[in-house]
Amino acid sequence: MYDPTVARLTYRALLGRRRALILFALPVLLIVIAAAVRGFSGADDQVAVDLLGGFALATMVPIIGVIAGTGAIGPEIDDGSVVYLLSKPVKRPTIIVTKLTVAIAVTMAFSAIPTFIAGMILNGNGQQIAVAYTVAALVASIAYAALFLLLGTITRHAVVFGLVYALVWEALFGSLVAGARTLSVQQWSLAVAEKSAGGDLITSDVGLPVATVLLVAVTVLATWYAGQKLRSLKLAGEE
Amino acid sequence: MTTINIDHTSRWFGNVVAVNDITMNVGPGVTGLLGPNGAGKSTLINMMGGFLAPSTGSVTLDAKPIWRNEQIYKDIGIVPEREAMYDFLTGREFVVANAELHGLDERAAQRALATVEMEYAQDRKISTYSKGMRQRVKMASALVHEPSVLLLDEPFNGMDPRQRMQLMDLLRRMGDAGRTVLFSSHILEEVEQLASHIEVIVAGRHAASGDFRKIRRLMTDRPHRYLVRSSDDRALAAALIADPSTAGIEVDLKEGALRIQAIDFGRFTALLPRIARDHDIRLLTVSPSDESLESVFSYLVAA
């Protein structure tokens, strides 16, 4: 279910393109902000939760997920070069699972690691806050990568839809409508973070069992459906 | 023996019928798929390559289905028309990746690069390649596993004459070696030079099939229409209609010209100036009125 050649091509495509710059820019921004906050106001658990929850988990992780998830397959489908993968005796689900693995690895690397570093800078992992948000970022990376990889296989406007989901649905509707929070990768991963943290600073609207089931279901279904879409992919730009 | 069987196959997109009830077999040797732009050649090749499902009918390779059967690519090599490749790789990296996806190693890639004579530029990024170089690297990627079937969509587009000759040589050798090579083109001369067998597609339909001599004859024997203006149209018309090479003449009073339908192209072109001279008639305009490729093809469809 994993093809090293597909993985190599995907890594190079992801990290070689210009939009990969955002992959580097956002984590740097997070760490700079964390350092500045720590410098101006010292260590404060509530500030750490606000910054890691409000910026790292709510904004940075989904955006990195959009870039890595859609970027792992979208551009190839858009320009037609995916034909070189599809005209090989390689199973379609293998291609998808490989690309998902790469997208997850890239999302984790560019979101969980900087989240952990920022958490350590902010309050030195007081009350397990840095670890909790790192775990949340790791968990969210998997679901986001799967979701946005699927978007990348079904629409040419995957980046736009991905950002709309991440920023409008999760951030805006999620803060206004309580029900929307139940259907939000961010809340599910917060449920995991809640369990990992020591105190009651981190809270989620979703219980851990429900969150776990939904995270697994979304990841598996999105991956399965992406594999199905790839099996009957019509290459764009023909007659 | 490797043969692609297309059996009563149609493919439509919404209301548009791109391929209309085509039945043909493509066997070993070089076959040219000829037709004007938009005739459905790419749609047909995409179905043969497993990138499009037939709406009705079937497309098989030695009785094995091609659609949704990735194992078929052990036998098929594809050279797509589109330019996009993994431009951030070097030519060698690209061909090696293609070999690996077939479960082969670097040696297969080197062999394919040698076959298309691209070793000299194999370590340059694909983004720096000319169109002809890209085409050759695409060829190499399709040849790594030495497939028994090679499908090429408009492979000569944008190639210079020397590159064209090289590629033709290569395809000819592959055909002679017993591989099934199918390429599409909208240029008759191209197909004629290379293909031992020609399939003509017009407006989604299978218009003609045979060797190039047969196709050429069909094309030159068709009725040719001319618009002729002269110093004495009626006298010219009377003299022309007496000869069997002319099937019909209309005196178009509004245009002030003759519309002539000739059925024997060679004889008519010799006859017209001779009659004009003998009858002391000045020819002012002689213009073929339906020489476009499309009209030639649409005649073939009707035939």
Q: State the smallest CA–CA distance between residue B163 and chain A in angstroms.
A: 23
Looking at the fold, whether B62 and B86 belong to one and the same domain comes out as yes
Could you count the other beta carbons within 10 Å of the beta carbon of residue B219?
Answer: 19
DSSP state of B79: E
Is it the case that residue B291 has pLDDT exceeding 60?
Answer: no
Q: For residues B200 and B217, what is the distance between their CA atoms, to the nearest angstrom?
A: 13
More confident residue, B222 or B150: B150
Q: Please tell me whether residues B71 and B87 are part of one structural domain.
A: yes
Residue of chain A whose alpha carbon sits nearest to that of B141: A84
Maximum C-alpha span of chain A: 63
Burial B86-124 (b: 16+ CB within 10 A, else e): bbbbbbbbbbbbbbbbbebeeebbbbbbebbebeebbee
Which residue among B219, B237, B272 closes a domain? B219
pLDDT score for A166: 84
pLDDT value of position B215: 77
- Mean pLDDT on B53-78: 93
Q: In chain B, what residues touch A93 (CB-CB under 8 Å)?
A: none
pLDDT in tens, B90-147: 999 999 999 999 999 999 999 999 999 999 999 999 999 988 899 999 999 999 999 9
Q: How confident is the model at residue B160 (pLDDT cuts 50, 70, 90)?
A: confident
Do residues B167 and B143 make contact, with C-beta atoms less than 8 angstroms apart?
Answer: no
Tell if the pTM clears 0.80, that is, is over it. yes
Q: Do B50 and B161 sit in the same domain of this protein?
A: yes
Q: What three-state secondary structure class fits B276?
A: helix
In this structure, are residues A203 and A216 in contact, taking their beta carbons and an 8 Å threshold? no
Interface size between A and B, measured as CB pairs under 8 A: 81
* CA B109 distance to own-chain centroid: 29
What are the tens digits of pLDDT across the range A70-104?
999 999 998 889 999 999 999 999 999 999 999 99
Asked if B101 and A6 come within 8 Å (Cβ–Cβ), the reply is yes
Domain CATH for B136: 3.40.50.300
For range B288-296, the mean pLDDT:
65
- SS3 of residue B189 by DSSP: helix
Same domain, B63 and B187: yes
pLDDT at B297 over 80: no
- Secondary structure (3-state) at A60: helix
Amino acid identity for residue B280 in this structure = D
Between CA B201 and CA B301 the distance in angstroms is 8
What's at B255, amino acid-wise? Answer: E
> Pick from A9, A17, A235: which is nearest to B51 by CB?
A235
How much of chain B exceeds pLDDT 90, in percent?
A: 58
Among the partner-chain residues A8, A89, A234, the one whose CB lies closest to the CB of B102 is A89
CA quadruple A95, A98, A104, A105: dihedral sign:
negative
Confidence at residue B298, expressed as pLDDT on a 0 to 100 scale:
65
* Per-position pLDDT tens, chain A of length 239: 899 999 999 999 999 877 788 899 999 999 999 999 999 988 888 999 999 998 999 999 999 999 999 999 999 998 889 999 999 999 999 999 999 999 999 999 999 999 999 999 998 888 899 999 999 999 999 999 999 999 999 988 998 999 998 888 887 787 788 778 888 899 999 999 888 886 678 888 888 999 999 999 999 999 999 999 888 777 644 43
Whether residue B211 sits in one domain with residue B156: yes
Structure tokens at A19: 């939009």
Q: Give pLDDT, residue B193.
A: 86
* pLDDT averaged over every residue in chain A: 90
How does the average pLDDT of chain B come out, rounded? 89
In angstroms, the CA A162 to CA A179 distance is 20
CB distance B133 to B75 below 8 Å = no
Q: State the angle between helix axes of A92-123 and A61-71 in degrees (0 to 180), rounded to the nearest 10.
A: 160
Query: Is B215 or B241 the better-scoring residue by pLDDT?
Result: B241
**Domain count across chain B:** 2
Q: Which of residues 70-129 of A touch B (CB under 8 A)?
A: 79-81, 83-92
In the block, which residue shows the tokens 């999760």? Answer: A170
Residue B296, pLDDT score: 67
User: Do B3 and B61 meet the contact criterion of CB atoms below 8 Å apart?
Assistant: yes
Residues B205 and B228 grouped into a single domain:
no
CA distance readout (Å), B162 to B104, B118, B134: 31, 14, 15
| B73–chain A nearest CA distance, Å | 5
Closest CA to B140 of B195, B190, B93, B178: B93
Q: Are B151 and B49 in contact (CB under 8 A)?
A: yes
Q: Domain map of chain A by residue range? A: 4-231
Are A144 and A215 contacting, i.e. CB atoms less than 8 angstroms apart? no
**Cα(B171)–Cα(B197) distance, rounded to whole angstroms?**
13
Could you tell me if B237 and B154 lie in one domain?
no
Instruction: Report yes or no: A154 and A147 within 8 Å, Cβ to Cβ.
Output: no
β-pair type (B180-185, B197-202) = unpaired
Question: CA-CA distance, B275 to A198, in Å (whole number)?
Answer: 107
Both B135 and B66 in one domain: the answer is yes
Mutate to test the interface with A, among B12, B45, B64, B70 (most CBs of A within 10 A): B70
Give pLDDT tens digits for B45-65: 999 999 999 999 999 999 999
Strand partners of residue B6: B24, B59
Using CA atoms, how far apart are residues B133 and A151, in angstroms rounded to an integer? 34
Q: What is the mean pLDDT of residues B185-201?
A: 87
User: What pLDDT is attached to residue B303?
Assistant: 55
Q: Left (φ > 0), alpha (ψ -120 to 50) or beta: where does B7 sit?
A: beta
Residue position matching structure tokens 């022309």: B240
Selecting from B49, B53, B80 the residue whose C-beta is nearest the C-beta of A80 gives B80
Phi, psi of B59 (to 5 degrees): -125, 115
- Give residue A237's pLDDT: 46
pLDDT given at position A141? 96
The answer to whether B53 contacts A86, with C-beta atoms less than 8 Å apart, is: no
What kind and span of H or E run contains A229? helix A208-231
Query: CA–CA separation, A211 vs A193, rounded Å?
Result: 11
Q: Are B77 and B104 in contact (CB under 8 A)?
A: no
Q: Tally Cβ neighbours within 10 Å of residue A49.
A: 23
Q: In CATH, what number is assigned to the domain containing residue B292? A: 3.30.70.600
Res B75: pLDDT:
95
Question: Among the three residues B219, B252, B271, which one is the final residue of a domain in this structure?
Answer: B219
Cα A123 to Cα A47, A49, A51, A56, A108: the distances in Å are: 9, 10, 11, 15, 22
Contact yes or no for A84 and B98 at CB 8 A: yes
Of B21-25, B144-148, B158-162, which gets the smallest average pLDDT?
B158-162
Reference B13, options A77, A237, A230; nearest CA is A237
Do B16 and B33 lie in one domain? The reply is yes
**Position B12, amino acid:** W
CB contact under 8 A, B70 and A12: no
- Choose the closest CB to B86 out of A81, A88, A231: A81
- Interface contact flag, A12 B89, Cβ < 8 Å: yes
Q: Does B139 share its domain with B255?
A: no
How far, in Å, are A175, B259, B296 from residue A154 at the CA level?
A: 28, 55, 41
Q: What is the pLDDT of residue A238?
A: 43
The answer to whether the CB atoms of B85 and A81 lie below 8 A apart is: yes
The CA radius of gyration of chain B, in Å to the nearest whole number, is 24
pLDDT over 70 at B185, yes or no: yes
Chain B residues with a Cβ under 8 Å from any Cβ in chain A = 18, 38, 40, 42-43, 46, 49-53, 68, 70-74, 76-78, 80, 82, 84-86, 88-89, 97-98, 100-103, 141-142
Q: Assess whether B230 and B157 both reside in one domain.
A: no
Q: B292 pLDDT exceeds 70?
A: no
Task: Quote the tokens at residue B193.
Answer: 């030079």
**pLDDT for B301:** 62
Residues B174 and B29 in one domain: yes
Q: In 10 A of CB A79, how many CB atoms? A: 17
B84–A3: do the CB atoms touch at under 8 Å?
A: no
Q: Which residue range is the domain that position B242 belongs to?
A: 222-302
Structure tokens at B148: 């028994």
